[in-house]
Amino acid sequence: SFLRQVSSLLRRLPAMESEKFQDDFLMEYNDTLLVAYLAM
């Protein structure tokens, strides 16, 4: 049963894999870099 639990755990990776997620993630990444740049 452990092996089954472990394999189901691995099947849940990657945690998120949608177009929209990538967009949101990069958007936030750029925003934060911009904030850092502005603050500098």
Q: 29: closest CA among 21, 17, 18, 40?
A: 21
14 binds another protein (CB under 8 A): yes
Per the listing, tokens 């990776």 go with 13
Among the residues of the chain, which ranges form H helices?
2-11, 19-39
Binding to another protein in span 15-34, by CB under 8 A? 15-18, 20-21, 24-25, 28-29, 32-33
38 binds another protein (CB under 8 A): yes
Sites of contact with another protein (CB under 8 A): 2, 5-6, 8-10, 12-18, 20-21, 24-25, 28-29, 32-33, 35-36, 38-40
